[in-house]
Amino acid sequence: MNLQEIEKLKSILTQFVMQGCHMQCIPNQNAALRASGRVVGVGFRPLWSSPIDSKIEKIELNYIDQRGTLQPYSLYNVIGYDIVSYDGQNLENSDHIIFDMHVYSPIKAASKEPYDKVRLDIRKGSTR
């Protein structure tokens, strides 16, 4: 990722959270790490990106689960993302976006794709 891609992702996630959204995270490798609920906060490390950054060290989504409990969901070492689909004419006016987040995995460092994918499905407003 370059600085522009990092800032675009941060902007999209922040806008969705500010307008109220629900998320569903589906890890490719471990179904036990699934999460879904209403997102109430998002944080990034580093908060301020620089031109030499090529990853986001941490994205933390704070959400309220089905039991009403506040839960953190963290993605570490995000090195890229794909926008799988969105429902608007452009990203800025979409109400539903699906991302594949590329999370670096040292275990897979020697493989062709040195990352795990986590599907992040976010939609504004209430759940389906």
Total residues found in the chain within this entry: 128
pLDDT value at position 82?
95
Looking at per-residue pLDDT, the higher value among 38 and 27 belongs to: 38
Question: pLDDT digits over 50-74, tens only?
Answer: 887 889 999 999 999 999 999 999 9
Q: How far apart are CA 4 and CA 15, in angstroms?
A: 16
Taking the C-alpha atoms of residue 37 and residue 47, their distance in angstroms, rounded to an integer, is: 24
Query: What's the domain count of the chain?
Result: 1
Q: Is the pLDDT of residue 115 over 70?
A: yes
35 pLDDT more than 90: yes
pLDDT at 57: 94
pLDDT of residue 127: 54
Give residue 91's pLDDT.
Answer: 85
* CA dist., res. 37 & res. 23, Å (int): 6
Q: Which domain holds residue 102?
A: 3-124
Looking at residues 78-90, what average pLDDT do you find?
93
